[in-house]
Every structure is written in C-alpha cells, then in structure tokens.
Amino acid sequence: MHPFNYYDPRTVEEAVEVLKKFGDRAKCLAGGTDVLVQTRGERYELDAIVDVKKIPELTSVDWTNDHLIIGAATPCYVLYEDPKVCEAFPGIIDSASLIGGIQIQSRASLGGNLCNASPSADGICSLIVHEAECVIAGPNGIREIPVEEMCVGPGKNAMDEGEFLVSIKLPLKNSFFSSSYERFIPRNEMDIAVAAVASSVSLENGKISSCRIALAAVGPTPIFAEEASKMLIGKEPTEENIKNASNKAKEIASPISDMRGTVEHRKDLIEVLTRRTLSKAVERVSV
C-alpha cells in the first residue's frame, strides 16, 4: 500500500485547498467504509486522505422552511434514530437502515454512498426519488446539482478536482407524499443489491400527482426511470397502472450478467421491485 498523508481540515475552505493541491491523488474520508477498503485493496494510489468529519456542516442535520439539509458525512444511524426524519423521508430511511450492517451504519453516510457512485448503491435511488440536490464546494465556490446528475459512471461522480460534497438538500413534502426503497439480495442482510428500486408518489384526490422511480444495479449508474415515472402521473394507483409502469421500468433497466446476477434475473427483479415499492409508497400515503 502506498503511504499517504492524513488531513483533517476544520472549514470547507481549508478542505478545498488541500483537495485542490493533491488533485486526483486525494480523496475525502467520511465514514471510511468504502475509501479505506478501496485504499487497502489498492484500487488506487493516494497521497492524501482528507477527513471531512471535523467540518461542522458535514455532520449536521438542519431543517429550513423548505428543506432538510443533511451533512454529507452524517452517519446513517443519525437519520434513522431521528423520528422527524423517519416520518418525512421513509424511502431515505429504508436505505439508511439497510446499508451494510449496524456497525457500518454507525460510520457510513449517504453523502459517501453518493460520492462512491456505485451502480448498486443503496442510498442513491432514494435520494433521486426525493428530488435531492447535491451541495458541492470547490475552488469556484458552491454549486448545486440534482442528485441524478451526480453519478456519471461506475465509481465516477460529477465533481471536478478540488470539489467535494458538503451536504444533501432534501425538499420537504406534504403529507400526500411518500416513498419506499427495496432491494433484492440473496441473503437477508449484509449483502449487495442484485437489483433495487426506489419509488415516490404524491396522491391528490385519489390520483397520482407526482411520481419518481429510480433503479439500481441495472446500469453503469443508478437510473432515474423518468419515462416509467411519468406514465403514472394523473392516473389512479391501480394494480394495472402500477404494473404498466413497472414493465416500463423493466424496459429501461440495462443490466449486465455477472457473479451477482444475470441480465434476465435483474430485469425481472426490477419489474417486481418497482411494483412492490410503488404499492408500498401508495400504502404509506394512505396510512
């Protein structure tokens, strides 16, 4: 393993400075559940590891009038142990409470999950269906991008050298909105998704007024299945309508066959999971 320096900046500006200096020879450390494993596994060689947990914005959870702002390094358990967050963002909580196991959840963050940009990431689809925005700091200041634009390839995110993720902004929804995330794994825990789906819906007067469906592990990045989502808008959440959208999601999925699953199995699973997550989200609104 190549030797590297450890930095623990206290402000966003300090962090940008170190990251800019080392360019692609530096990586941010949040919970470390990906970056430490990858460094030890010699997936890349680093000169600097920049621990961002000591920057206050990175680990805070703040409510504004219209957003919940989650610091990028906030561990998953902080979210699912907060009843207010659980009530407002059920899909996010589905994700946060099944990433890795309990030990991993006490370290790993949704921000890290997003930056790691794994096609099978458990956190990203839920962020997509909640219309999350990424708050990115860099040498040119702060910019914001929709979360579905963050992943650009397996393990590749949209940030430039010197940039890092400060927080994730989740728009607050009304009580007619809900969401759900479900993945298929061969075991019952501690596993990586063969295929996964997050869905969100808003129900107004018995009809779906908004819908977002996102798919994981069936393409080079998590996929916002926009066409499938649109199909349901203005429709009633009937079994047939949900089934049609699910079949569309299956069409959109473009998986590969590998040790974790076959193309056929993954596409079949997308249909099943889309159906199940849509129904679950609808059920959660109704409750």
Minimum CB distance to another protein, residue 270 (Å) = 11
Q: What is the CA radius of gyration of the chain?
A: 19
Site string (192-211) toward another protein, x via CB under 8 A: x-x-----------------
CA separation for the pair 43, 229 (Å, rounded): 36
Q: What is the smallest separation between the CB atom of 241 and another protein, expressed in angstroms?
A: 19
Residue of the chain from 25, 173, 243, 265 that contacts another protein (CB under 8 A): 265
| Residue 260 within binding range of another protein, rule CB under 8 A | yes
Nearer to another protein, 148 or 182 (CB): 182
| Binding status of residue 268 toward another protein by CB under 8 A | yes
Provide, rounded to whole angstroms, the least separation between the CB of residue 285 and another protein: 21
Contact 239, 246 (CB under 8 A): no
Q: Residue 78 is encoded by which pair of tokens?
A: 């902080």
Under rule CB under 8 A, residue 87 binds another protein: no
Which one, 137 or 218, has the nearer CB to another protein?
A: 218
Considering only residues 90 to 149 of the shown chain, the ones binding another protein according to CB under 8 A are: none
Q: Contacts with another protein: how many residues (CB under 8 A)?
A: 21
Neighbours of 200 (CB within 10 A): 29
Is 86 a binding residue for another protein by CB under 8 A? The answer is: no
Rounded CA-CA distance 201/186 in Å is 28
- Closer CB to another protein, residue 158 or residue 192? 192
Give CA–CA dist 221/70, Å, rounded: 22
Q: Any contact of residue 190 with another protein (CB under 8 A)?
A: yes
Helix ranges, the chain (H): 12-22, 35-40, 76-80, 83-88, 90-96, 102-105, 110-116, 124-129, 226-230, 239-252, 263-286
Q: Which is nearer to another protein, 66 or 189 (CB)?
A: 189
Q: How many secondary structure helices (H) and strands (E) does the chain include?
A: 11, 14
Q: Which stretch binds another protein (CB under 8 A): 20-28, 109-117, 121-129, 189-197?
A: 189-197
Q: Which of 270, 120, 111, 121 is nearest to 199 (CA)?
A: 270
Cβ atoms < 10 Å from Cβ of 181: 31
What residues line the site for another protein (CB under 8 A)? Answer: 1, 3, 184, 186-192, 194, 258-262, 264-265, 268-269, 272
